[in-house]
Each structure stands twice: as C-alpha cells, then as structure tokens.
Amino acid sequence: MYTILERRKLADQIYLMVVHAPRVAKACKPGQFVIVKMDEEGERIPLTICDYDRSAGTVTIVFQVVGASTERMAGLYGEDTFMDFVGPLGCPSELVEEDLDTLKKKKILFVAGGVGTAPVYPQVKWMHQQGIDVDVVIGAKNHEMLILEDEMRQVAGRLYVCTDDGSYGTPGMVTTVIEELADKGTKYDVCVAIGPMIMMKFVCLLTKELEIPTIVSMNPIMVDGTGMCGACRLQVGDEVKFACVDGPEFDGHLVDFDQAMKRQQMYKTEEGRAVLRVRE
C-alpha cells in the first residue's frame, strides 16, 4: 500500500498529492510517469511525476479530474492509500540524459500549458540543480487555473506567465509569448513543450517556423503502460510509436497531433458518462 502524505487542491479540478513510494522515488528521473490504481476494481491511471524526494521516499503527482477514476481519486485524503503505484515508467527526458557539457551550452526554452506545468517542473528543477538557467513560459486559461507558479519561479532562470483571458501576466496563449521572445531576438537551441495536445500542436507549428527543434511529451490514453495493448499508439513521422515505452517524449515536429487528438476524442463521451455516474 502507498500512503498519501499530503493532498492539496491547486486549482479547480487540479490536485497535488505527495505519496510515500520509496522505490519509485529512488529510481525515477524527470520525464517519467507512474500508473496508479486505487483498489482491486480501480482503473489504471497514468500520471506524470511532478517531483520526488529520494531521502523522504516520496513522489509528487499532479492530476486533473478528467474522468470517473480521477474524480474518485480527488476524493482521497492524507492517510488514504493507493493499492498500486507502479513506476518509474517511460523514458526519462531526452535533455536530462544528454551529456552535461553539451547541455550547458544550449539555450533552452520550456513551455507549459495548464496541468502540463507539473511534468515541466521536475525538468526545470533538475536543470537548476545542474546550474543551467532556462527560460520558462507557463500559461493557463485564467489566473485561477495557473498552477505551480511560485515553485517554478524558484527554479527557472526567467519565468514568463500568460493567461488566455488576460487576467494575469501577458494576455494570450503561450505562443504569444514565444513570438514576443523571438521578436526580441532571443534564439533557442531547443524547446520543450508540455500541455494539452492542441497547445503542443500550435507551439510546434510556430517553433517549426522559427526553426527551433521541439520536444513534446505525449499524454494519450494508456491501459497497460508496458507496450502490450496498443492504446497509446501515435504516428511519429513514418513510424508508429507507443507513448508508454517509446516516449512519452517525441520530436514535436514529427508527431501527427490531428490523429492523436481524434483518438483521444473517441473516449471523451464515455468518460463524461462515467463521471456523472460517480457523482450520482
């Protein structure tokens, strides 16, 4: 059993949990994810790792209520437990695996949208711990939906915040900020974009134009998380890839976002019905 040590509401329908999972905490790296299961009947839920503390043996996860299982999960509190907390799964972030001297010479831009700020955070924190200053853009629909701003401010070289409705920071989408940075003449060697698929699609269209190689972290529907079921398959260039074992990071300029969004859409209606059943 894996005990929830802390549970915090970050924004409407977005929660943070610190879970005691020493073996995962010992082995995980930024970019990886876990699959959790609440009990015997529970669905397997893939969640990206937001933070970890190897000495305390804890892993921090952030999730948004998107379906019946995450709705149930939001009802768990400190001292409740997960039956399974499996990980670390997937490949660590490409940049974290790079040679440190090469990495230190690069100008890196991180772009996070909505709950995508959670998986961006451990990467930026890791960079900060290696003495690498990176630029970070975080965006949300409005000020209330913005998460982890204070935490990010402590580890980012420069932090740019924007909201779609202009209620905080720069008014507009993350692409507005990237365009502004490009207009000022800031040149980046690589961009990492994580957020809703539609956001990553538009960031990639822009960074392609700006000729900035871009890494995205894909979050398709997952079932087994071991490359066996095919649920998380994606078209990346000429190849079919599985996000759970080949990713979750891919070359954003090669990902077929339209196909990935269509596949995600197929599950939406059933998820909506399941949420209503849980709320009844």
Give me the residues that bind ligand FES (CB under 6 A), please: 222-225, 227-232, 242, 244
**Please, which residue, 20 or 233, has the CB nearer to ligand FES?**
233
| Residue 57 Cβ vs ligand FES, minimum distance, rounded to whole Å | 27
Q: Which of 109, 108, 194, 107 is nearest to 147 (CA)?
A: 194
Question: Is the bond leading into 92 cis (omega within 30 degrees of zero)?
Answer: no
Nearer to ligand FES, 182 or 231 (CB): 231
Q: How far is the CB of 5 from ligand FES (least distance, A)?
A: 28
Q: Which is nearer to ligand FES, 133 or 224 (CB)?
A: 224
Q: Could you tell me if 35 and 45 are in contact, meaning their C-beta atoms sit under 8 angstroms apart?
A: yes
Give the shortest CB-102-to-ligand FES separation in angstroms: 30
How far is Cα 215 from Cα 253, in angstroms, rounded to an integer?
8
Q: What is the DSSP letter of 167?
A: S
- The least distance separating ligand FES from the CB of residue 108, rounded to whole angstroms, comes to 28
Cα 280 to chain centroid, rounded: 30
**DSSP tag of 29:** -
CB count within 10 Å of CB 265 equals 9
Cα Rg for the chain, rounded, in angstroms? 18
Q: How far is the CB of 234 from ligand FES (least distance, A)?
A: 10
The count of C-alpha atoms lying within 13 angstroms of the C-alpha of 31, restricted to the half-sphere facing its C-beta, is 25
3-state secondary structure (DSSP) of residue 200: helix
Closer Cβ to ligand FES, 212 or 222, answer by number: 222
